[in-house]
Structure 1
Amino acid sequence: MKLTLHTDYALRVLMTLAVLEGRVVPIEELARRHRVSENHLRKVAQTLVGMGLVASVRGRAGGLRLAVEPGGLRIGGVVRALEEDLALVECLGEGPSSCALAGACRLTGALARALDAFFAELDRLTLADLAGRGPAMRAKLGLDAAIAS
């Protein structure tokens, strides 16, 4: 299983905003610090704003800021909401399966349990947990210098 870039970038944005604790961060700055396309981050930001997780601040000093309490945001829920297709194999998806082994294969159940375990682990984590290494994350992103200036 591989998360989409959209979900990956969304999690990065959320972690960065949580580390910055209320600071409004321009999308241009987020794109530069994460070395990702500004255009792609705008789409991610639009999704996060639509979900109510991030607030968009307009104007010259505008950008994004976290709109939720990091300790109350479960990562499993974020990933579930962002990922369009969580079926690891066709027979776990919705609708009929073209697999000749459907209904007789034990792999389907094993993969379903594996996916449940994956989300159980993500459901244990909050955004605050992920941002808990704030100083190390700030250093990786070069944020201390930007905040001090």
Structure 2
Amino acid sequence: MRLTTRTNLAMRILMFCGVNQDKVATKGEIARVCHARETHIAQVVNVLAHKGYLATARGRGGGIKLAQQPADINVGEVIRTFEPSAEFAECFKKEGNTCPLTPACRLKSALVVALGAFYGALDGLTLEDFIVGNDTLATLLEGTAPQKAVA
């Protein structure tokens, strides 16, 4: 399984905001530190704000910050927001499944179990677990490390 770029950016944004709770960040700052394009950051921030994870304000003095405490942001829920597990494989689709093996295949049931274990592990984690006591992460997300923009 591979997480989408949007999911990866969502976690980077939340970790950035969690490490920098004492300030309001801009999309540009987050993009620079997280090695992403500002337009991609804006799209993901919009979803995170809509779901209540981030608070955003426009205009002078505006920006982005956590809307919840890190201990209240469940990683499994965030990942589910960006990874629609209902269609993990073609056979998961209610319509458009053309796999000829579906009537006899046991892979789907194994994948259901595996996805349950995957999300179960993530459901036991919060943003706080990723940021508290993680001095290396704090150094990286405070923008002191060399930066480069990538897709």
Please classify the TM superposition score into its range, dividing by the shorter chain length: 0.7 to 0.9
Contact 2:54–2:67 at 8 Å: present in 1 too? yes
Alignment partner, residue 24 of structure 2: 24
Identity rate, percent? 37
Aligned length: 145
Q: What is the CA deviation profile of residues 57-85 of structure 1, one whole-angstrom value per residue up to 9, with x for unaligned ones? A: 23322210000121111111111122235
After superposition, residues 96-107 of structure 1 pair within 5 angstroms as 97-107=97-107
Distance 1:17 1:23 in 2: 8
4+ aligned runs moved over 6 Å, structure 1: none
Alignment partner, residue 92 of structure 1: 92
Distance 1:137 1:100 in 2: 47
Q: What is the CA deviation profile of residues 85-143 of structure 1, one whole-angstrom value per residue up to 9, with x for unaligned ones? A: 55332112333521111121111111111111110011011111111244211212344
Aligned partner letter, 1:98? T
RMSD: 1.9
Q: Kindly tell me: are residues 91 and 19 of structure 1, through their superposed partners in 2, closer, same or farther at Cα, counting changes over 3 Å?
A: same
Contact 2:19–2:141 at 8 Å: present in 1 too? no
After superposition, residues 1-149 of structure 1 pair within 5 angstroms as 1-95=1-95, 97-143=97-143
TM-score, normalised relative to structure 2: 0.86
Question: With CA pairs under 8 Å and 6+ residues apart, which has the higher RCO, 1 or 2?
Answer: 2
Unaligned runs of 5+ in 2: 146-151
TM-score, normalised relative to structure 1: 0.87
Contact 2:20–2:142 at 8 Å: present in 1 too? no
More helix by share: 1
Secondary structure, aligned partner of 2:46: helix
Distance 2:84 2:112 in 1: 17
